[in-house]
A and B are shown apart, each in its own frame.
Chain A
Amino acid sequence: MASSMDKPATGRAKHSRLARPVLYVLLAFVGGLYALPLVWMASTSIKPEREALSDSVGLLPELPPAPTAAGAGDEISYAARLAEQVAANYTAVIDAPNADFQLYIRNSLIVAALSVAGMTISSAVIAYGFSRIRWKGRDTLFLGVLATMMIPFTVIMAPQFLLFKHLGWIGSWMPLWVPCWFGGGFSIFLLRQFYMGIPRELDEAARLDGCGHLGTFWHVILPLARPALVVVALLQFIATWNDFTGPLVFINHPSQYTAGLGLQMYQTAHGGTPWNLIMAASVIVIAPVMVVFLLAQRSLIEGVATQGLKD
């Protein structure tokens, strides 16, 4: 994974030989600690219930072979038994009578697609207005964008509920994705930073070619901004997928649950659910985010890094 992120900060290369092993230990410790909860979650999800509820700290389940009939063929290998256990756990979750994870994931995908489309398009447009056009009051208003990032959702969730109730949107997913079509503070900020790195000469060249703002936006800015738009899309996908409070407040019918909400309802089901199945369900809900992360990890990290850069 050699990359630009590995460029060492100079001035620190001079460490005594003694410190390096210590640092390596620390590094391993931090890495192990931060990886542990997820690893443990995955490990529990493949164990049979009685073992999950035991004291064992092993990563892989001990699966004693079922007694085979006398004179029967070979003993089933551990790998096969493990595969069988994994399949059993995960199908138990998918077939659970009181939770419909296939539906929940589908719902999450729909909401995520609508949110991502909305956020990307609207933020691209709004950020153009904040960066490429010089107008009075622009920078003050942009401070307002930053300020809106500070308002906690719990302050407005109840009145937003009332608002959506009067609009008749309760009972659909609209409260979740429609606000994304009006831009979001973080995406606007990110794109504005990006646009400001594009040379103004390009704008002027486009102007000479007869383009107005729309033309400049479409022909110059948008193509160049594609990497940042990808980052915005990915971050918004993850944010929507992970969103819990919004669906908790706005979604009531179980057939409309999103993945996170469905998981929480599954976990608190009347009568309790076995821990190994809860972990399996958890892994199912994490999986898409995990895949996105593995593929686009660097973009995401850099996208977050721009937040802290002084404007």
Chain B
Amino acid sequence: MVRRAFFVDGIECFNTLSLPSPVRFCVLCGSSPSSGYPAGVPGRVTSRRAVLAGMAALGAAAVLWPYTPKSRRRVPRGGRGRVELTYWEKWTGLEGLALQRLVDRFNASQERVWVHLIPVGDIDAKAMVAIGGGDPPDLVGLYTYNVPGYAEARAVMPLDEFVSRGGLQREGREGERRLEAGTESERGVGGGGSGGRGEGDGVADAEYAPGVRELLWHEGRQWAGVNTCYTLGLYYNRAMLREVGADAPTTVAELDAIADELTTQDAQGRITRAGFLQNLPGWWPYLWPAMFGGALFDAGRNAATVDSPACVEAFEWIAATARRRHGVAATRAFAAAFGRSMHSAQDPFISGRLAMIVQGPWLANFIAALNPALEFGVVPLPVSGALRASGRVDDANPVGLLEADVLMIPRGCPHPEEAYEFLRFHQQQREQEQLALDHFKPSPFAAPSPEFLARHGHPGIRVHNAIVGSRNAMVLPRTRVWKQYSDLTTAAFDAVWGGADVKQTLAGLNERAQQLIDSAEERRRQRQSGRRGESNEMKTSRWHGGLA
């Protein structure tokens, strides 16, 4: 019979059976019968087991001890008993805090609902997986490029569905009023109701700027509320421009001239100060065609147009900046040096190492916090000579990118009605403009309120607001393959920067993007022919219940 005894002195091993040859040893104490080594210091084995057991006990205690997650700690005693919603949002830091204040105002304004704002990373992937998996949050803050895809898939709830259900009584009356007034046009409802600006129903009352409305609507219905919008402008360092005696550029040629004069390189060819580089910050590689009158997508024909002459011109300009004027290696190294420093004290523009940069309005906020002494100005994006000569672009209708964050209610969420209540509060002009003030962003409404413009801390906010209202504002392609198209465009941008032939790269990109668009369209037609009209809702898991 094999010894099973265990002697606490540690002289004998736990047992002499061990893992098969060639290693024969005691698993816990490490001694080996044949090695001749003693079993270690007496008592050592016990202490090791004791520690392991202690750790297990510690682990069990950690698990069993009741722990309230941070996000839940904010609910005050009186808040229990309300319907609790989860709201996933991408923002952290100052922007997150500003939104938290809005959520706090909502929570304080009524007794029925409590909203938990939860910061989530990688939110569009997580949202899709959560909604697809049947376990979505009540509210999710996404990007405008998600709207077409989610709308077509019926993965989020169209806002007019709440109106038609009757919602809360007040909403019902307003909904009826709208229907009566016959404002159910092709472009959908969403304007004109006079239910008291600043209180009540933000969704019904909202008069968005036309560009913003385009972002929230898809195929005639509103699918999302706006959650601050932003536009991109050209920020320039006044002191540096004064150095070369230039005014803010309005054409691409002027921009290039100023940039060339201001770029300095050291003896090894490394850039010490740059005038203007399209790869800093490199977050919008698809922006540049707008400056030449080009577009990436033609919604009417459902076609990718990145190989159009204007786009080619834009990318040729990019290639020229990288290769001919400053050098690929130097520009790449310079940009890479700021990899993680954007919006910090080492930000290239804030620290004065980049004279001009295309950025969003939040930059002013960071400048005020990190380097208030910096003299800067902001103008709309310069355009090519041809575009300016055509007369389409003027001061009232500048060129720029208009983008927004959106707030949507996923289908299959636990509390859609209460989520819509929050959305109505959130869309009120007063609330949205307060949020925009805190985020240093422009107002998404067609007529920003005078107090908004007066109180805004951004000296150049009128420029950004002008782009919001401009008919030349570029919006991202309204196609459900945009995410992939955008990734491909980023790759193309990198390739062009590195020396690839522009026409070839863009032709390849266009072909691939067109393939994606066409196959997505094909699938859509196949699905619609299998559908029995509007009533075919997304199948959600039984456990999470569909809609009532």
Residues of A near any B CB (own CB < 8 A): 2-5, 7, 53, 97-98, 100, 102-103, 105-106, 109-110, 113, 161, 164-166, 168, 170-171, 193-194, 196-199, 202, 223-224, 226-228, 230-231, 249, 252-255, 264-266, 268-272, 275, 288, 291-292, 295-296, 298-299, 302-303, 305-306, 309
Contact among B25, B28, B90 for A270, CB-based, below 8 A:
B90
Q: Residues of B contacting A197 with CB < 8 Å?
A: 17-20
Any A CB within 8 A of the CB of B59: yes
A182→B319 CA distance, assembly (Å): 57
Q: Are A255 and B133 in contact, with the CB atoms below 8 A?
A: no
Q: Residues of B contacting A3 with CB < 8 Å?
A: 25, 30-32, 35, 37
Closest to B135 in A: A171
Contact string against A for B residues 325-369, beta-carbon threshold 8 Å, 1 for contact and 0 otherwise: 000000000000000101110100000000000000000000000
Q: Residues of A contacting B67 with CB < 8 Å?
A: 102-103, 106
Q: What 4 pairs across the A-B complex have the smallest Cβ distances?
A: A168-B543, A171-B135, A4-B32, A170-B133
Given the interface pairs A98-B119, A255-B71, the reply to whether A4 lies near B340 with Cβ below 8 Å is no
Contact string against A for B residues 151-188, beta-carbon threshold 8 Å, 1 for contact and 0 otherwise: 00000000000000000000000000000000000000
Q: Residues of A contacting B120 with CB < 8 Å?
A: 254, 265
Any A CB within 8 A of the CB of B27: yes
Closest to B540 in A: A165
Q: Are B344 and A272 in contact, with the CB atoms below 8 A?
A: yes
Closest to B13 in A: A227
Nearest Cβ on chain A to B432's Cβ, whole angstroms: 20
Any A CB within 8 A of the CB of B96: yes
Q: Are B48 and A268 in contact, with the CB atoms below 8 A?
A: no
A171→B540 CA distance, assembly (Å): 13
Q: Are A198 and B17 in contact, with the CB atoms below 8 A?
A: yes
Contact string against A for B residues 49-64, beta-carbon threshold 8 Å, 1 for contact and 0 otherwise: 0011001000110110
Given the interface pairs A3-B32, A224-B15, the reply to whether A165 lies near B133 with Cβ below 8 Å is yes
Q: Are A291 and B344 in contact, with the CB atoms below 8 A?
A: no
Contact among A106, A109, A194, A292 for B19, CB-based, below 8 A:
A194
Majority-rule SS of B interface residues: loop
Q: Residues of B contacting A196 with CB < 8 Å?
A: 20
A192→B290 CA distance, assembly (Å): 67
Any A CB within 8 A of the CB of B24: yes
Q: Are A269 and B121 in contact, with the CB atoms below 8 A?
A: yes
Q: Are A2 and B37 in contact, with the CB atoms below 8 A?
A: yes
A275→B18 CA distance, assembly (Å): 45
Contact among B17, B62, B137, B343 for A271, CB-based, below 8 A:
B343
Q: Are B122 and A265 in contact, with the CB atoms below 8 A?
A: yes
Closest to A194 in B: B19
Any A CB within 8 A of the CB of B544: yes
Contact among B55, B69, B137, B544 for A291, CB-based, below 8 A:
B55
Majority-rule SS of A interface residues: helix
Nearest Cβ on chain A to B23's Cβ, whole angstroms: 6
- Mark the stretch among B124-132, B371-379, B448-456, B500-508 that contacts chain A: B124-132
Closest to A190 in B: B19
Q: Are B25 and A161 in contact, with the CB atoms below 8 A?
A: no
Any A CB within 8 A of the CB of B242: no
Given the interface pairs A100-B70, A105-B62, the reply to whether A4 lies near B30 with Cβ below 8 Å is yes
Any A CB within 8 A of the CB of B435: no
Any A CB within 8 A of the CB of B541: yes
Q: Are A98 and B25 in contact, with the CB atoms below 8 A?
A: no
Q: Are B28 and A227 in contact, with the CB atoms below 8 A?
A: yes
Nearest Cβ on chain A to B346's Cβ, whole angstroms: 8
A271→B91 CA distance, assembly (Å): 8
Given the interface pairs A168-B544, A170-B134, A298-B30, the reply to whether A97 lies near B92 with Cβ below 8 Å is yes
A129→B130 CA distance, assembly (Å): 40
Closest to B120 in A: A254
Any A CB within 8 A of the CB of B4: yes
What's the interface size class on B, roughly? 35 or more
Q: Are A255 and B69 in contact, with the CB atoms below 8 A?
A: yes
Q: Are B27 and A271 in contact, with the CB atoms below 8 A?
A: no
Any A CB within 8 A of the CB of B14: yes
Nearest Cβ on chain A to B285's Cβ, whole angstroms: 19
Any A CB within 8 A of the CB of B304: no
Q: Are B4 and A224 in contact, with the CB atoms below 8 A?
A: yes
Closest to B34 in A: A4
Any A CB within 8 A of the CB of B93: yes
Q: Are A168 and B15 in contact, with the CB atoms below 8 A?
A: no
Given the interface pairs A194-B19, A197-B20, A296-B52, the reply to whether A110 lies near B121 with Cβ below 8 Å is no
Q: Residues of A contacting B344 with CB < 8 Å?
A: 272
Closest to A171 in B: B135
Q: Residues of A contacting B90 with CB < 8 Å?
A: 270
Q: Are B135 and A228 in contact, with the CB atoms below 8 A?
A: no
Given the interface pairs A97-B96, A224-B15, the reply to whether A270 lies near B91 with Cβ below 8 Å is yes
Q: Residues of B contacting A224 with CB < 8 Å?
A: 2, 4, 15, 17
Closest to A266 in B: B121
Q: Residues of B contacting A228 with CB < 8 Å?
A: 19, 27
Q: Residues of B contacting A113 with CB < 8 Å?
A: 59-60, 63
A/B interface sample: 25 pairs, CB < 8 A: A3-B30, A4-B24, A4-B30, A4-B32, A5-B23, A97-B92, A97-B96, A100-B71, A103-B67, A109-B59, A110-B63, A164-B133, A165-B132, A165-B541, A171-B135, A199-B2, A202-B2, A224-B15, A228-B19, A230-B27, A252-B135, A268-B122, A269-B121, A270-B121, A272-B340
Given the interface pairs A97-B92, A224-B15, A253-B130, the reply to whether A168 lies near B63 with Cβ below 8 Å is no
Contact among A4, A109, A264, A271 for B92, CB-based, below 8 A:
A271
Q: Are A161 and B133 in contact, with the CB atoms below 8 A?
A: yes
Closest to B119 in A: A98
A204→B132 CA distance, assembly (Å): 55
Any A CB within 8 A of the CB of B147: no
Nearest Cβ on chain B to A248's Cβ, whole angstroms: 9
A228→B27 CA distance, assembly (Å): 8
Nearest Cβ on chain B to A245's Cβ, whole angstroms: 13
Q: Residues of A contacting B71 with CB < 8 Å?
A: 100, 254-255
